[in-house]
Structure 1
Amino acid sequence: MLGNALRMMGDVQQFFVDTYREMGPAYRVRALNQAFVILAGERANRFLLEHGDEVFSSEESFGGLNREFGMRVHVLRGRPHRHLRKVLAGGLSRDLLAARWDEVVAETERTFDEWRGEKALPVVDSFQRLAAAQLSIALTGASSAGRFETLRKAFELVLDVTIAGKWPSATLKWPAYRRARAEILDFARAALEERQAFPRTEGRRDLLDQALDAVDENGEPYPMEVRAGMALQGYFAGINTLAYLYSFMLHALLRNPEVAARVTAEADEAPLTFERLRAMPAAQGLTLETLRVYPPAPGSARTVVEDFDFEGYRIEQGRRVLVATSVPHQLPEHFPDPGRFDIGRDFATARKASVYAPFSVGSHTCLGAGMTEVLSVATMAMLLRRLTITPAHPDRPLRITATPGPNPGKRFQVRVGGR
């Protein structure tokens, strides 16, 4: 009845690694009412990169995001998908963060000052609020602070229902959820309407500007629900992916004091300008190694649209497939001594070889990956310059939970002091 559900509810990345070593590059798993074929290893990543657009669709796995919040980019294929990704990329770029750097720094430092004196700060919750505020400033200039709880609950429920399969689809008909969904869509439409009424006359075009002006691959304006989905894209990613990365980075610093000392010394060297972020190898290594050990997307869920062969197995049309793209992260042939936290690894070469894939590989790679990496370097540097962090419960082991994405859970708490 449960199948592999209990093992997959915790550290799903470790589950994929263990089962790959036991079963090989292709095997079946079952969790409650869902059955998947798992493809894992270097060749699985290469297959997704080279043939994913031909044999896979993401409609079944990510269609809920499109139906509920107009996030069409997750379900398109081919030319329409490439076009919409290009449109969105302009509103999720590192250059936009650079243009609003001073405002993002001010908000981040203000938040950190509020944390001082906390004896049991809930790390994941606190970083979720910070990430949402940072991306509000950088991407749209429209604050989501007043709707944070609504955004978080609704987005996480959609992920749990449509991707994780944790709850039945009827859950999305609950009146409380429908009210939250309506409030979120109203927020996105209002932000777009305000920008249209009061267009920006200077500064870099942001995500709202991109959404207002966007046309599809045939030159036709996108409908309002798609524009609203574009405006929400940054908030959706920030509440989860970015906050979970911050949380794991902090955990890594607490467990590896020598790394913390190196990153702190580097952060203290000079004023933390946006230009300096590129010249901070220790902080960059902290981000990239954390993504290796605790990838935000351990696997990419797809549905087979055309029969294909992989490693001697026939995978048939209609099968649900999960390509465990981060399994190579824990294989010694790609990352020597993978159990060691090493911020000096050659991530660039591993990324080119498609064995370093914290944000998946291929045409559906996370659009916000670049901004996520830059923001995480900056945020940890600012935190170390401003605060001292110690575990609130030193003897409590980290307990990773798998939904709505791999994260350290509510039990991860810290004591916060000033420097």
Structure 2
Amino acid sequence: MTPPPAAPGLPVLGNALRMMGDVQQFLVDTYRQMGPVYRVRALNQAFVIMAGERANRFLLEHGDEVFSSEESFGGLDREFGMRVHVLRGRPHRHLRKVLASGLSRDLLAARWARVTAETDRLLGEWAGQSALPVVDRCQRLAAAQLTIAFTGASSAARFEQLRSAFELVLDVTIAGKWPAATLQWPAYRRARADILAFARAALQDRADHPTAGPPDLLDRALAATDENGEIYPLDVRAGMALQGYFAGINTVAYLYSFLVYALTQHADVRVRVRAEADSWDGSFTGLRDLPALHGLVLETLRVYPPAPGSARTVLADFDFEGFRIERGRRVLVATSVPHQLPEHFADPERFDIDRDFAAGRRASVYAPFSVGSHTCLGAGMTEVLAVATTAMLLRHLDLTAPARPLRITATPGPNPGKRFTVAARARAAG
């Protein structure tokens, strides 16, 4: 067996420029040119790309056997004790189950009034701004919502510190944007120490002052034991707590940002979903009666997936589509490439909120949060909260985007970039 072919690229830079921009479009275009497996190079990094329906199926069925996530995600564990990202097999399944119980939609329902009150307050601050920085405001909104739901209190006072530290770790350890020595900067080391101390203090405060209602992420972390019934070390339990404090800063916020863009670009969709938002009674249970808004969220995830690929390292040689992929190779399974293929989604360039997303999920070709054992733990919560947030936004605001092309950036995750702004004004009565 021969190694996969190399995708054409520039001297020295390789494929870096395109992968630093709209990486999803790059992966789709290169799949069409090169087929389901090929090699790319971005400066000092090299990857084998696996893409298409069979790649998704391979990750789903064989990922735990042949891949490790330690090299790609180990930084989150080393820096913040977020061990779930690097475990495999039974230990991984067990810790995911523990975390999932503290990141559930039941918590969102139990704290619905507080989450929606904070959402209304923050959206109210958007009104009257002629150049609202969408990504920044969506990050602040999502982080506040999810920390209230997962921990009972907003982390707004620590938002800047949490965001800068988390994004730096992602840029260094996953994206390879900066050298590893960057994580030795004194300012970062101080911020990291403060964040870890904050997480430990939050756990201690919860132990000293239990709350009523369903157990949240802090409660689960306090009582968490490993697959053998042994209490997790404090750094792992603090890392579990930090899953809640870091939640929303990237994936959820970027989805919100792309939803804002979609609403400004598709007037017919905007009219339809606004009418549905106006009919909503504001309750958590009433969210199930908003099919157009659900379709908007799912179609936005199809066109602008927050996780276009899953980065892994090969543990044992294997063959895929006639090529040998060797042990030690870094692999990116481009799980969202099928989103843009007409054999899976008819007329994929059309923005269509009425697609059959359930069928795509069953076939593992609709995969905005990846597939397999490392699928995003908060995927269900993200979709529900995005529906509610979009409905509240539509009720209160009219948004207008400048008439210029969207410039997507790939790091720390695909997002519309800091330059994406909108004019926001309070919606006229009636």
For 1:170, give the aligned amino acid: A
For 1:82, give the aligned amino acid: R
Q: SS at 1:268's partner residue?
A: helix
Please list every run of 5 or more consecutive structure 2 residues that lacks an aligned counterpart in the other structure. Answer: 1-11
Aligned to 1:70: 81
Aligned to 1:312: 322
Aligned to 1:333: 343
1:239 is displaced (CA, Å) by 0.5
For 1:277, give the aligned amino acid: L
Asked if 1:408 is matched to 2:419, the reply is no
Kindly indicate whether the alpha-carbon contact (under 8 Å) linking 2:146 and 2:247 is maintained by their aligned counterparts in 1: no
Cα distance in 2, alignment partners of residues 247 and 294 from structure 1:
10
Q: SS at 1:344's partner residue?
A: coil
Aligned to 1:28: 39
For 1:208, give the aligned amino acid: L
Aligned to 1:50: 61
For 1:284, give the aligned amino acid: H
Cα distance in 1, alignment partners of residues 18 and 312 from structure 2:
21
Asked if 1:375 is matched to 2:349, the reply is no
Asked if 1:171 is matched to 2:200, the reply is no
Instruction: Count the aligned residue pairs.
Output: 416
For 2:364, give the aligned amino acid: S
Aligned to 1:242: 252
- How big is each residue's C-alpha offset from its partner over 1:342-365, in whole Å with a ceiling of 9 and x where there is no partner? 000000010010000000000000
Asked if 1:396 is matched to 2:404, the reply is yes
Cα distance in 1, alignment partners of residues 36 and 244 from structure 2:
34
Instruction: Tell me the C-alpha RMSD between the 2 structures.
Output: 0.7
Cα distance in 2, alignment partners of residues 234 and 400 from structure 1:
26
Kindly indicate whether the alpha-carbon contact (under 8 Å) linking 2:134 and 2:421 is maintained by their aligned counterparts in 1: yes
Aligned to 2:6: none
Asked if 1:121 is matched to 2:121, the reply is no
Kindly indicate whether the alpha-carbon contact (under 8 Å) linking 2:59 and 2:333 is maintained by their aligned counterparts in 1: yes
For 2:188, give the aligned amino acid: Y
Aligned to 1:194: 205
1:235 is displaced (CA, Å) by 2.6
Aligned to 1:214: 224
Cα distance in 2, alignment partners of residues 347 and 235 from structure 1:
30
Cα distance in 2, alignment partners of residues 269 and 395 from structure 1:
31
Cα distance in 2, alignment partners of residues 34 and 237 from structure 1:
28
Aligned to 2:267: 257
For 2:148, give the aligned amino acid: I
Cα distance in 1, alignment partners of residues 269 and 130 from structure 2:
24
Q: SS at 1:27's partner residue?
A: strand
Aligned counterpart in structure 1 of residue 363 of structure 2, from 349, 353, 362? 353
Asked if 1:295 is matched to 2:294, the reply is no
Asked if 1:103 is matched to 2:103, the reply is no
- How big is each residue's C-alpha offset from its partner over 1:353-409, in whole Å with a ceiling of 9 and x where there is no partner? 000000000000000001000010000000001111112xx2221100000000001
1:136 is displaced (CA, Å) by 1.3
Kindly indicate whether the alpha-carbon contact (under 8 Å) linking 2:147 and 2:247 is maintained by their aligned counterparts in 1: no
Kindly indicate whether the alpha-carbon contact (under 8 Å) linking 1:268 and 1:385 is maintained by their aligned counterparts in 2: yes
- How big is each residue's C-alpha offset from its partner over 1:290-327, in whole Å with a ceiling of 9 and x where there is no partner? 00000000000000001111001111110000000000
Q: SS at 1:314's partner residue?
A: strand
